[in-house]
Every structure is written in structure tokens, then in C-alpha cells.
Structure 1
Amino acid sequence: MKHLSGIDSAFLHLESPEMPMHIGSLNVLDLPDGYSGDFFEDTQAHIRERMHMAEVFTRKLALMPLDLSNPVWVDDEDIDLDYHIRRVTLPKPGSNRQLQQYVARLHSSLLDRSRPLWEFFVIDGLKSGQVALYSKVHHAGIDGQAGVAVAKAIFDLAPTGRHIKPPRPRARRNQYQLGTAELLGAAARNTVNQTVALVKSLPLMAGAVKTVFIPPKDVNGKRRWSMPKGFQVFAPKTSLNVAITNQRTFAGRTVPLAEVKQIAKGLGVSLNDVVMATTAGALRTYLIENNELPAKPLVAAVPVSLRQEGDSSANNQVSMVTMGLATHIRDPLERLQAISASSAKTKETMARFKSVIPTDFPLLAAPWLMSAVASLFSRSRLANVMPPLANVVISNVAGIPVQLYFAGAKVVSYYPVSIPAHSMALNVTVQSYNGRLDYGLIACRRALPDVNELADALLAEHRILLDLAAPPVLVVAEAPKVTHRPAVKRAKRVNRVAAAA
């Protein structure tokens, strides 16, 4: 068995029917030339061969008695691939809009906790002749970077695939769930270990907090206490900051990664600053068109990875920070510069905290309490009246920079599909892939039914920033052509004129 960390289990305990806590992706695939097989069957065979390469495919939850502690991961010895991998055929005409609407519908349903927490859907019937692969995995098992590691297990760098070494045979226990005594003993030991680790980290955490919140002494030996410039305890209220339903709407958009890098280089900011400014400009345009742009700037909740370089373990190592989006600034360039300055301050603060933020902590007897509070918050619709801490979730995931293949098919796109939450009905997640930057906008359909309008505004804002970053083209007027006769011919003509005179 393997214990879930405090952050992993929080994604389970905070889940509700209105707020499923799984993340996913939508890949559009080009089938090989002349393909005449059954891609659904090929997908099942492809995943069956590689399931042992990522433990998220083969483990399930074992719940603690009376929810006294966090669940643990155990191996599932009887995985039903016909359940986990399914086929969907779109009705005609099979447009891209239909595909994204169906993905939104699939993303709204909860995963079955009695099975490994993942599902794949092979979607055909597209009028383009392509097929699509939609996948979803519970956030309790992976974060964005761990999801990239899973992708490396199932995708290939060549259409011919690669040799996969079969798993080592293991003895079957023929045990559907663990015994009560075994689970309680494991919970007690894990709680003790979590508590000891947390206590040991307290001095480092206290030191990090001191450097951020306690100002240094001035020349007179006094501390000057003040709030940071532009600091907001709460974000302004908008139509996005409400209690959500389980209905979803999704839109995917793509911009060339080279253009985003051109904007970043030309305007002297980071690539992430460009992503934030593009989203901020789109939100400003959308809210203005709906006559609800607040006077105060919108605030984004931004996930921050705590993962060490090279760590691809299938768990969550992530925290969350808030950052201003400067939507009160009309000029796109000034807005981008303000976002860049805010981002720099956030990075400076996180650099002090990152190494001491705990990702595991004791939650003895807390799972049932967290689930009860989450259910109460959802059913009471408190998000409709409470001021939000942030307006929108914006996440930028470093993806895979090379061409990928899945079961022999060429992977064309890699749209992320993430999690809207109560009080933040819109999630914008961005992932780079093979020269592309794929935006995935997932929202509560009741709060944001016209998500495609927002997605189109995002593309328009990208073009505005690209024009600002592009160097001016100098048009040089062409000089008039002057025809000169050779000097020898001119001399002969002068001589003939002189002789005639």
C-alpha cells in the first residue's frame, strides 16, 4: 500500500458532484495513411501493453474505516479495460465544436472510486477524418507535471512505436480490499510519521514567514509596517464568482509558440507573463461586452509546482498563489508590464517559501469533516454571496516540445482540460506542445455559457500583443531610374554636332 499525502487526499475530500476533481486532456490524432484497422481496439492493446509503466493505471483507493484517516493506494489485480477505455461516435457533421461540447459533457461526471481513477475515450465521426483521444485522471493521483510523465509512458516519438519490456509477474493476493486492522495500523503509523515531519519543518517555515511578513529595521532601528502596494485581500465580484453546477462547457484554442516567444522577447517579459496578459486582455474584453468589468483589477489563482527537477512521481506537489491581472488598465502594453512586475514579486516570495511549504500533513479524523464542510459549502451556495479570493484559475504547464505518436497515429494537439471550482467558475490551463501553445478553457456552463466568445477574444488579444512586439517595417521609396548613355557614345554625338556646325 502507499499513503496519499495531505494534498492528494484533499482533492478527494473536497470533491462533490458539482465539483469533480479530475484533470484531463484532449488530443486530436491523424491516422496513418491508408489506415484500415479499428483504432479503438488498437488503443486498448496499446494501453494494455504499457499500463505497468505508470502506476496511476493499476492502483485504486482503499478507504479507511469510518474515514478516520486518508485512504491508501493499493494494486488492482482485476482491471476492466472495457470499462476504462470506451468508444464515442459523434453524430454528423462531426465538427470541432461538437467534439469540444462532448468533451465538456464527459468531463462533468465523477470517476468511480471503486476502480483505478482514470478513463480514456476514443472519439470518431469527425468530419476531418481524424480521431480524438480524451483522457481524464483524478487529481488525487497526479498534478500537471506528473501528468506529463504519464504522457511519456503512453506516447511515442515515432509512428512505429518502441519496444516495451513486459512487467515482472507478481503473485496475486486475490484480495479486493485490505482488512480493517491492517488499514487502521497503517493509518496510525502514517499519522505519526506525518506529525514528526511537520514538527521538524516548523522552524524553517517560521523563518520563511518572518522574512516575508516582518519588515527589516530602518536606520533608526524601527520597523515600518505597511501593506504591499496594490494588495487586495479579496478579488472583485463578477459573474464568474458563483457557486457552480456539474454542467461544463469547453473551448480549445491554439497559438504558435514561436509567436508567444516573439512577444516575450520583443517586449522584454517572460513567456508566462504573455500567457497571463493574453488571458487578462480576453477577460477584460469579455466583461466590457457584458457591462460588468469591475473597477478593481481581477485576481488570478495560479498553481505553482513544488516539484524538484527530475521528480516524476505520480502525486501532487503543488501550491497556489494569487496574482493581479491589471484588468483596470486599458493599454495592453501597460497592462502586460504591470502583470510582469506582479509576477516578479510573486516569484520572489515563492522562492523564499517553496522549499518549506508542506505537501504532506496529518489529517487524523479530518476526511469526514472536510467532506462535510465541502458538501455544506456546495449545497448552501455560499459562493454566491461571499467575496472571492480570486476570480479565475490560470495555469501554465510546461509540455513536451517534440512530435508525439499514439498507437501509430500522429498527435496533432494537446488541449488541457482542468477543474472549475466554486467561486471560480472558469479555469484556463495552457500547455505547450511541439511548437504550439494549446489553451484549454473549461467552465461551469451556467456561469459562462458563451466560453467560445471568451476563447475568440483570447486569440484577438494574442494578435494585439504580437503587433506590439513586431518590429516596424521600414518602407524605403525606390529612387527614380535615370538612364545614362555611355560616355563614349556621348562624345561621338558631340563631335557629330560640332562637324555639322
Structure 2
Amino acid sequence: MKQLAGLDASFLYLETPQMPMHVGALHLLELPVGYDGDYVEDLREHMRARMPLLPALRRRLIAMPLGLSNPGWVDADPDLEEHIVEIALPENSGMAELEAQVGALHPVLLDRARPLWKFHVFTGVESGPEGQPRVALYTQLHHAAVDGQAAVALAQVILDLSPEPRAVEALAARGKKRGQLGTVGMLRAAMSQQWRQTVKLARSLPNAATILGGMAVKSLGGAAAEASVDKLRTLLAAVSATASQTTAIVRGKAPVASLGPAPRTRFNVSLSNTRSFAGVTLPLAELNRTRKRHQASLNDAVLFVIGGALRRYFAKHGPLPRKSLIAAVPVSTRAAGDTTPNNQATMTFMSLGTHLADPAERLAHVMAASKAMKAQMSQLKSLMPTDFPSLGIPWLMQAGAMLYGRAKVAEKLPVVANVVISNVPGPQLPLYLAGARMLTNYPTSIAVHGLALNVTVQTYNQSLDIGLMACGEALPETAELAAYVEAAFMEFQALPVVEMPAEPTPPARKKPVAKTAPAKKAAAKPVAKATPQPRASTTRKKATAG
């Protein structure tokens, strides 16, 4: 048994029927010409062959006695008849029908008595332009088991580079399955885990205080900074004290105040148990060409496009807030090459500039906000704990999550953000699943109380696939918002490049003239009158004038 880390277990405790905590994607799959097999059975056989390489799909939860601490993972053999199911749609069903199916299935919670994943295969999908048979696949993976990048690592095992599945090397025997621990053994394991977590967190605090204190000195400077260091000696206080610095932005040349509360919108509500979903694809090559013209990062471009779409949406459905919308942006803390199937991420906040009508000003606003955020997060993200002592936490978090939704707390608290926007890098070449070519990869992520819209973006095969997941009552018009995303992308393409004014060259310092000793007074001589010289013309052209 391996006990869940604190961050992973949090996704279990926060889950309610109104707030499911699984992620996944909607894939459109194209089968080989002339295919007449049973794709659901083919997929089951494919997954059966890959299962030894997928430990995250071969484990289930086991609860601690009395729910005192985080549950653990134990080995389990998934029943593929239950985990890979067929849903027959009316013949020639298109994208709108698939999006409606995802909206209907997403609120259904995964069975915690089984491994926490499920694949839904849709048949009856309309054929390709040349009659190629197609199916679709909606995947569900619980966020307690994987984050976005861990899901990408799973996909690398499941998917192939050609229609012919690659041969996989058989793994060595997993060894004997351990017998289940008794109640006393589980309690002993839980207490041991609590001790290790407490010691690890305690050891990290001095380093956290040092880093954050240094950041305060650098950003504040002088005696005021030195005085503030004493107030930054604990991790939580330090994070709170520097949070406003993390989100500071610049508009044009003049600094703008740090982010305060976000404006309240129709997205900042408690969720219902319904979902609305839509997917949209943008051409990655053109997006990259456009962003490079403006010296923007891919993340800057994504935030600009989504912000532009939201501005259009609120301009129509109203009211458009006078203050900029704020995005909650997950930031990965995962080290390069780490494929551990767990969660390694934290969260920051970004202003989208939606209060600015001029798209050029809005792009500059987003780029400045992104630059300020990156400067702080490069130091802060290593301090965010993903594991922490959990004794008694299951009771508190589960009760809090239920109360939060029932009491509609989201409508009463100050708004910190309006939307979640997540950008997950993905593969840049076509992939295949059980012989079928994957055409789309629309992410399906999590909406939470107070943030009724989640926008997740993933690159795939020279495309940028965007999944819009929302509460069905707060935002039923996700298809309309997807159209606004395309319109905002066209606005981005048409945006002229603004030449930034050159930095003025500082005047050269005059060399100090050496003082000479005063000369002895000589006898006064008559001074000859100087011939007056003509005054220099004031209309002379400068050499640098254009």
C-alpha cells in the first residue's frame, strides 16, 4: 500500500456530485479504410497488452480506518468490460452530439471501488470527407491519480506512431501481491507517514523563509525591506505577503497596482450537477507565426485569445466588467523527465486585460502580466508543498466541500479569479490508438465552485486543441464561446506589430576638469578688443534628423 500525498488526496475530499474531480479528453478517431471490425473489442485488447506498463490504471483506493488519514493505493486488475464501454449514437452524429455526450457524462462520478478511470467509445459518428469510418473516445482519469503532464506520460505508453501497434516488452513479474494490512498495521503506517510528512515540511520552512525574504529585499529594497524580512519567517505568511508582488503588472510605461479582487461575474457561482462542453481547434503554425511577430510566448497568445473571446461573450450577454477579468493559471512544478503518476502543480493569477478595448493594449497588458508572474514563480513554485500531514484532514475537507456547495459560499466570498486557464504541452505529430488515427485531443477538465468555467489547452499534431468545460446553468453557451475563440484568434492574426520606442540614450558624463594652481598676478596690460563673431544659426539640421 502507498498512501496518497496531500495534494493528490485533496481531489478526493473536494469531490461532490456538483464538483467531479476527473480530467480527460474527447478524441475523434479515424479508422483504416475498409475497417469492418469491432473497435471496442480492439481497444480492450490493446489496453490489455499495455496494462503492465500502466501502473496508474492498475490500482484502486483503500480507506484508512475511520477515515483518519489519507487513503492508500493498492494493486488491482481492472475489468476492461467495465472500464471500456460502448455508447451507440444515432447514425452520422457530429461534433455537436459528441459535445453534448461529454456534457452529460462528465458529472457522473467514477466508481471508487475500482481503478479510477473509464473510456467511453462512441459509435455512429459521421464518416470522414472521403468515407473513412470514424469513432470517438471520451476518457476519464481521476485527478487524484494524475495531473495534466502525468496524463501526457500515460498517453505516450498507450498511443503509437503508426496504425500498426508497436511491440511492447513484457515487464518482469510484479512480484507477490502483499496481503492487506490489518487495522493496526494500517494505523501504524498512517502515523509513520504523518511523522515523515511533518518532518519534511518543517525542514522546508527555513529555506522557504530565506528565499522569500530575499525576494522581499530585492523587490522593496533598503531599510523597509530589511524590516519586512522578520515578518516573512513562516511559509504561509511569506506567500501571503508576496502574493501581490507575484501578480504585479505593467500597462504601457506606467506601473499599475497589484491585482486585487476580481470582478464578480456569472461564472463566480456555486455549481449545479450539469455540464456544458465545447471544443475548438486553432492552427498551431499560424498561431506561432503571429505570436513571434509580437515577441509573445505561446502562453501569452493563449491568454490573449481566451481573454478576447471572454470580452466578446460579456459584451453580448453582459455586463462587461469595467475591471479586467482574472485567470487562475495552474503552473507545473514537475522536474524535466519526471513521469510519476501524481500531481505536481501550483496556481497563480493573471490579468487578461478584458477592460481594454484596444487589442494592441490588451496584448501588451497580458505580456507584461506574464513577465511579472514568471519572474516571481521561478522562485516561488519550488516552495509549494504537494504533500503535508493529513491527520483529520479527510473529515474537515469533505465536510467543508459539502457545506461550501450547499450554503452557496461562492456567492458570498470575495472573487479572486473568474476563469481557470491551463496550457498543457502535447505531442507535435499524429498518433494512433489501437490502429485508429487520432484527429483531435480536446481536454476535458474541472470546473469548481466559484469558477464555473475551465479552459484547458493542449498542443497536438500542429494544432492547438481547446476544451471549454462549464457549469451547464452558469454557462450553457459554450459552443458560442468556442466561436468567439476563433474570432479572437483572427483578431490576433490581424493585429499590426507595434514598434516600441527606443530607449533614450543617457547623456555622456562630462569629465571633471583638473584644477590648476592659481598663477601669480602679473602687471596689468592693456587688453585688445576682440573682434565680434557672428552667432551660430539656430536653424541648423540635426545630423540624426530624418
TM-score, length basis structure 1: 0.90
- 2:313 counterpart of 1:310: no
Contact 2:326 2:419 in 1 (8 A): yes
- 2:158 counterpart of 1:131: no
What one-letter code is carried by the residue in structure 1 that aligns with 2:290?
I
- 2:304 counterpart of 1:277: yes
- Taking only aligned residues, the RMSD between alpha carbons, in angstroms, comes to 1.8
- 2:291 counterpart of 1:264: yes
User: What is the CA distance between 1:169 and its match in structure 2?
Assistant: 3.6
User: What is the CA distance between 1:215 and its match in structure 2?
Assistant: 5.8
Contact 1:62 1:178 in 2 (8 A): no
For 1:361-400, what aligned pairs fall within 5 Å after superposition? 361-400=388-427
Q: Residue 495 of structure 2: SS of its match in structure 1?
A: helix
Map Cα deviations across residues 241-297 of structure 1 (whole Å, 9 max, x no partner): 100012111000001100110121011111110000000000000001012111110
Structure 1 residue aligned with 2:202: 199
Structure 2 residue aligned with 1:58: 58
Cα distance in 2 between the residues matched to 1:438 and 1:171? 41
For 1:20-35, what aligned pairs fall within 5 Å after superposition? 20-35=20-35
Stretches of structure 1 that go unaligned for 5 or more consecutive residues are: 472-501
Contact 1:205 1:357 in 2 (8 A): no
Map Cα deviations across residues 452-501 of structure 1 (whole Å, 9 max, x no partner): 11110000000110122589xxxxxxxxxxxxxxxxxxxxxxxxxxxxxx
Q: Structure 1 residues 222 and 2, CA, compared in 2 at 3 Å: closer, same or farther?
A: closer
Size of the aligned set, in residue pairs, is: 468
For 1:79-94, what aligned pairs fall within 5 Å after superposition? 79-94=78-93
Q: Structure 1 residues 297 and 92, CA, compared in 2 at 3 Å: closer, same or farther?
A: same
- 2:317 counterpart of 1:290: yes
Cα distance in 2 between the residues matched to 1:217 and 1:349? 14
Cα distance in 1 between the residues matched to 2:438 and 2:92? 22
Cα distance in 2 between the residues matched to 1:5 and 1:312? 16
Q: Residue 397 of structure 2: SS of its match in structure 1?
A: helix
Contact 2:457 2:467 in 1 (8 A): yes
Cα distance in 1 between the residues matched to 2:153 and 2:219? 42
Contact 2:160 2:432 in 1 (8 A): yes
2:461 to 434, 437, 447: 434
What one-letter code is carried by the residue in structure 1 that aligns with 2:200?
A
Structure 1 residue aligned with 2:542: none
Cα distance in 2 between the residues matched to 1:80 and 1:360? 31
Contact 2:332 2:345 in 1 (8 A): yes
What one-letter code is carried by the residue in structure 2 that aligns with 1:309?
A
User: What is the CA distance between 1:89 and its match in structure 2?
Assistant: 1.1
Please identify the structure whose Cα radius of gyration is greater.
Answer: 2
- 2:269 counterpart of 1:242: yes
For 1:163-178, what aligned pairs fall within 5 Å after superposition? 163-170=167-174, 173=177, 178=181
Structure 2 residue aligned with 1:151: 155
- 2:445 counterpart of 1:450: no
Contact 1:88 1:124 in 2 (8 A): yes
Cα distance in 2 between the residues matched to 1:5 and 1:395? 22
User: What is the CA distance between 1:230 and its match in structure 2?
Assistant: 3.0
Structure 2 residue aligned with 1:411: 438
For 1:103-122, what aligned pairs fall within 5 Å after superposition? 103-122=102-121
Cα distance in 2 between the residues matched to 1:27 and 1:217? 49
Cα distance in 2 between the residues matched to 1:174 and 1:104? 40
- 2:374 counterpart of 1:347: yes
Q: Residue 243 of structure 1: SS of its match in structure 2?
A: coil
Q: Residue 33 of structure 1: SS of its match in structure 2?
A: coil
Structure 2 residue aligned with 1:189: 192
User: What is the CA distance between 1:79 and its match in structure 2?
Assistant: 2.2
Cα distance in 1 between the residues matched to 2:175 and 2:259? 57
What one-letter code is carried by the residue in structure 2 that aligns with 1:45?
E
Structure 1 residue aligned with 2:346: 319
Structure 2 residue aligned with 1:179: 182
Contact 2:163 2:433 in 1 (8 A): yes
Structure 1 residue aligned with 2:36: 36
What one-letter code is carried by the residue in structure 1 that aligns with 2:31?
L
Deviates more, 1:200-209 or 1:450-459: 200-209
User: What is the CA distance between 1:393 and its match in structure 2?
Assistant: 0.2
Contact 1:29 1:409 in 2 (8 A): yes
Contact 1:262 1:469 in 2 (8 A): no
Cα distance in 2 between the residues matched to 1:142 and 1:33? 35
Contact 2:40 2:121 in 1 (8 A): yes
What one-letter code is carried by the residue in structure 1 that aligns with 2:33?
D
Cα distance in 1 between the residues matched to 2:217 and 2:14? 33
Contact 2:75 2:177 in 1 (8 A): no
Q: Structure 1 residues 101 and 213, CA, compared in 2 at 3 Å: closer, same or farther?
A: farther
Stretches of structure 2 that go unaligned for 5 or more consecutive residues are: 128-132, 229-243, 249-255, 499-546
Cα distance in 1 between the residues matched to 2:36 and 2:219? 71
Cα distance in 1 between the residues matched to 2:406 and 2:221? 51
For 1:198-237, what aligned pairs fall within 5 Å after superposition? 198-213=201-216, 218=221, 221-223=223-225, 228=248, 229-237=256-264
User: What is the CA distance between 1:168 and its match in structure 2?
Assistant: 3.4
Q: Residue 426 of structure 2: SS of its match in structure 1?
A: strand
User: What is the CA distance between 1:96 and its match in structure 2?
Assistant: 1.0
Contact 1:254 1:437 in 2 (8 A): yes
Cα distance in 2 between the residues matched to 1:357 and 1:247? 32
Structure 1 residue aligned with 2:144: 140
User: What is the CA distance between 1:166 and its match in structure 2?
Assistant: 2.8
Cα distance in 2 between the residues matched to 1:218 and 1:442? 44
What one-letter code is carried by the residue in structure 2 that aligns with 1:204?
N
Which structure is higher in RCO with an 8 Å CA cutoff and minimum separation 6?
Answer: 1
Q: Structure 1 residues 373 and 347, CA, compared in 2 at 3 Å: closer, same or farther?
A: same
User: What is the CA distance between 1:403 and its match in structure 2?
Assistant: 1.1
Q: Residue 281 of structure 2: SS of its match in structure 1?
A: strand
